[in-house]
Amino acid sequence: MAHIILRHRDIPELNTLPVYQRNGGFAAFKKAVTGMKPEEVTAVVKNSGLRGRGGAGFPTGMKWGFMDNNNWPHYVVANADESEPGTFKDREIMEGNPFQFLEGVAIASYAVGANAAYVYLRGEFWQVAAFLDQKIEEMEQAGFLGDKLFGTDYSLRIYTHLGAGAYICGEETALLESIEGKRGQPRLRPPFPPSFGLYGKPTVVNNVETLTNVPLILENDADWYKSLGTADSAGVKVFSLSGRVKKPGNYELPFGTTFRELIYTHGGGIIDDRPVKGIMAAGASSSIIVADEKALDTPMDYASVRTLGGDLGSASVIVLDDTIGIDWVVNKTIHFFKHESCGKCTPCREGNYWMQHLTERIHSGQGDASDVELLNSVARQMQGKCLCALGEFATMAVVTGIERFPEDFSVKTRV
């Protein structure tokens, strides 16, 4: 099947403007601006069943529809702060298929009536940012961005913005704070960005992959997109496969593909052909799924993964085999979250610091059974109290790891 998102794998040099244009580039944007009302664009996206690819899986069209039309101007922000360990899809999209992504940004902007859009990239993506800047300039010169596009009154400009290297800026409100020049810390919600976003104005924040879907949805139609994937999760998804697999990488597959197919067919199986032990379906912030036969045969869509006690999230599938100690995984993720906690709310700031001491102790074999119990208790104590989702994410691997892989914790600890 031809790619929808990773089209550059089928079409060489798609990241150059002439090639992109030859392959139907900007037709959708032009169609929208010249022939459709913004509400119609939103309706198409809504009907397509497109859901956010950043992790939360919120219906994209519905989000666009929430924009407060009594408060102007509106903004569109593309979240390219791809910081989740195990996620590396957005970078490939932006490097390989930049115009389709930028066209998606442009269509979203038209749909919500925004005249300025921002692409927020993590600080380490400075090369990508420079590359995008160049592409944006090319689009401006070609008349796809700027004032009075396609002879209409619609104007749009896209700007890139580099973060300073904080995981938390992937949280949409922290991202907005960061663009505003403030500390990258999440805001209180509600109000949500569609009513109070960038500079206090209604703002749509969408993931890079989400927006990259949009041009083709508009070009084909909602039903075409819906026909891909499952009833609950329409369309295709780029799965970032990593961990103990032979062929890690990004794989664009329809929703509903099973874990087994992803790991064995596409990923080439496990290194040294060892058995799969666990799967983290949403990067470091995911629950650890016990990779039994049933789990491997579970289709990857939002609802099905949930039945396994996990979340598909951004579909960053990290595969763990039996050489990996779950205590090690937990220690690793907690180190990450302790380092990335922004410090705004107490449970996350203090809880991660505390958990890090405990996981370190347990992993190094210095801990005892009470430390495992305490770790579990601290993690549960954090749940449901944090200001943003990061604090909740931090506890996922800990709680599920201890619950589902108790032997990995008892072996290491002194009795």
Residue linked to tokens 């949805």: 217
Among 60, 352, 359, 395, binds another protein (CB under 8 A): 352
Compare residues 301 and 340 and give the one whose CB is closer to another protein.
Answer: 340
From residue 193, alpha-carbon distances to 77, 108, 172 in Å are 10, 15, 8
Q: Using the rule CB under 8 A, is 346 a contact of another protein?
A: yes
Q: How far apart are the first and last CA of the chain?
A: 55
| Residue 336 binds another protein, judged by CB under 8 A | no
* CA 22 to each of CA 16, 19, 99, 177, 394: distance values in angstroms, whole numbers, following the listed order: 10, 5, 12, 39, 45
User: 5 is written with which tokens?
Assistant: 């998102």
Interface pick for another protein out of 211, 295, 345, 379 (rule CB under 8 A):
345
- Closest separation in Å from C-beta 339 to another protein: 7
User: Out of 76, 166, 228, 399, which residue is the one contacting another protein (CB under 8 A)?
Assistant: 166
Sign of dihedral through CA atoms 56, 61, 66, 72?
positive
Task: With contacts defined by CB under 8 A, name the span among 93-101, 121-129, 195-203, 381-389 that binds another protein.
Answer: 381-389
Among 130, 339, 403, 411, binds another protein (CB under 8 A): 339
Does 343 sit near another protein (CB under 8 A)?
yes
Asked whether position 338 contacts another protein by CB under 8 A, the answer is yes
Distance of closest approach, residue 375 Cβ to another protein, in angstroms: 11
Q: Which of 150, 192, 328, 353 binds another protein (CB under 8 A)?
A: 353
**Closest CB to another protein among 91 and 361?**
361
For another protein, the binding residue among 21, 350, 389, 404 (CB under 8 A) is: 350
Nearest approach, Cβ of residue 380 and another protein (Å): 9
Alpha-carbon gap, residue 255 to 232, rounded angstroms = 9
User: Residue 183, interface with another protein (CB under 8 A)?
Assistant: yes
Calculated CA dihedral for residues 52, 96, 40, 109, nearest 10 degrees: 80
Q: Where does this chain touch another protein (CB under 8 A) — which range of 76-84, 129-137, 229-237, 347-355?
A: 347-355
- Beta-carbon contacts of 379 under 8 Å, excluding residues fewer than 6 positions away, are 351, 355, 394, 395, 398, 399, 402
State the Cα–Cα distance between residues 59 and 51, nearest whole angstrom.
4
E-assigned strands of 208-297? 236-243, 249-254, 276-284, 288-290
**115 in contact with another protein (CB under 8 A):** no
Q: Which of 315, 269, 251 is nearest to 5 (CA)?
A: 251
3 state SS of 367: coil
**351 is an interface residue for another protein by CB under 8 A:** yes
Residues that bind another protein (CB under 8 A): 166, 168, 183, 188, 338-347, 349-354, 357, 374, 377, 381, 384-387
